[in-house]
């Protein structure tokens, strides 16, 4: 299956949209986690760092999965990190509003980490399709040249 110019443009547009969605989700989750950190005693001047330990690490693990997929390297470890950080982010986001007792609010705060996770899977699907549709280049054999030097 060969990608047409139009299908390549659609894949590029979807990729841009998924990256945008991931960034928006990161910002929303970041806000919830900063508020939680402040509410649980972390000084304001340090609270902004705490979400980076979790959500930035999740984004880094996602990028590692994408890179390994492109290189056709096993992705078990980075996927494990993605799953664990997504679960932790999800849990902390929901915990940040648990005291409201409102299930809708808790669901709303669960969305950002889940959208990053789903966006990653969709990006990987796009990459897999592109890899299957791109013809592999054959390696040309290297010719050995022997140069004889005479004096």
Q: What is the pLDDT of residues 102-149, one digit of tens each?
A: 999 999 999 988 998 888 888 888 888 877 776 666 666 666 666 677
Taking the complete model, does pTM exceed 0.85, yes or no?
no
Which of the four pLDDT bands, split at 50, 70 and 90, describes residue 42?
very high
Q: How far apart are CA 77 and CA 61, in angstroms?
A: 9
Distance of alpha carbon 6 from alpha carbon 12, whole angstroms: 10
Residue identified by tokens 């001047």 is 45
The pLDDT tens digits of the residues spanning 79-109 come to 999 999 999 999 999 998 998 889 999 999 9
Distance (Å, rounded) from C-alpha 52 to C-alpha 27?
11
Domain parsing of the chain, residue ranges: 5-133
- Please report where in the chains the tokens 């984004």 appear, as a residue: 59
User: Cα(44)–Cα(41) distance, rounded to whole angstroms?
Assistant: 9
Length of the chain: 151
């Amino acid at each position: 299956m060969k990608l047409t110019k139009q299908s390549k443009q659609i894949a590029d547009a979807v990729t841009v949209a998924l990256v945008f969605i991931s960034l928006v989700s990161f910002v929303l989750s970041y806000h919830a986690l900063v508020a939680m950190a402040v509410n649980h005693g972390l000084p304001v001047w340090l609270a902004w760092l705490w979400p980076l330990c979790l959500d930035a690490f999740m984004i880094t693990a996602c990028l590692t999965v994408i890179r390994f997929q492109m290189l056709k390297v096993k992705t078990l470890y980075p996927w494990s990190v993605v799953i664990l950080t997504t679960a932790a982010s999800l849990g902390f986001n929901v915990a940040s509003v648990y005291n409201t007792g409102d299930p809708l609010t808790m669901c709303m705060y669960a969305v950002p980490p889940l959208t990053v996770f789903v966006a990653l899977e969709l990006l990987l699907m796009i990459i897999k399709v592109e890899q299957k549709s791109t013809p592999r280049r054959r390696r040309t054999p290297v010719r050995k040249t022997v140069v004889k030097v005479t004096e």
